Every structure is written in structure tokens, then in C-alpha cells.
Amino acid sequence: MYIGKTRSPIVVILLSIVTCGIYMFVWAYSVANDINKVVGKEQISPVLFLVSFFIPYLPLYGYYQLDQGFVKVSQSENLQYESKFILWLVLMLVGLGYLIACFQTQETLNKIWENRGGGAPA
């Protein structure tokens, strides 16, 4: 059973802001790999997810795939998770969606790691 690295969602957001978005690319690639390992198949291509940040509206597909991966994992591991994609979509139209999606994505991954026996966020 794969247990990924726990990260503080606040630190992910702050590092993304401080590095002018560079950390978000590293984080997004890591998260795509993590969700693929958790689901057990390629739910989302890490390279496609990374490249999508340079094409308007394409990251929505990546976040949709992440959200669907979380739905699958929550069903198989009896975790409480409700799809957040519509919320992310609405917030992305206002300009806050990417930060909120990053925060909630990392928070959900941390819950999965904790449920699998991992530690608390670093």
C-alpha cells in the first residue's frame, strides 16, 4: 500500500506564492504521480497535468481527473469525500480556484496517507 509524502497545505500555497508558481509545478507533478499510485492506474498523466498549466482552461481537466481519483479512493477505502470539482470550477472563474484546489487536494492526500498509516503533515 503506497503512502506518499505528507505536506502542509498552507506551506504548499505559501511556497507557490513565494516562488511565483514554480513550486506549484513541482507539487502538481508529484501529486499526479501520487494519485496514480493510489488509484493503481494512470488516472492523470503527470506530464499532461504539468503542461496544462500553460494552456488556458486545460488544468480544469487535470483537476477533474484528480477529483475523480479521490472519489475512487474514498469509495475503496471508506473515506468521507465529496466531489469538489464544481466548487473549484466556480472559484477558478473568480481567480482563486487554483489555490483552493491545491489546498484541498493536499489536504485530501494527507487524509489518505493518515488513513493508510502515515504520519501527520510536515
The answer on pLDDT for 11 being more than 90 is yes
The answer on pLDDT for 54 being more than 90 is no
The answer on pLDDT for 121 being more than 70 is no
Per-residue model confidence (pLDDT) at position 13: 92
Question: What is the rounded CA–CA span in Å between residue 1 and residue 27?
Answer: 21
Map out the domains of the chain as residue ranges: 9-115
Contact between residue 6 and residue 107 where contact means Cβ atoms under 8 Å apart:
no
Contact between residue 103 and residue 13 where contact means Cβ atoms under 8 Å apart:
yes
DSSP state of 120: -
User: Taken in order 8, 9, 14, 17, is the CA torsion positive or negative?
Assistant: positive
Nearest C-alpha neighbor of 62 from the set 94, 28, 95? 28
The type of residue at 41 is K
Better pLDDT: 59 or 83: 83
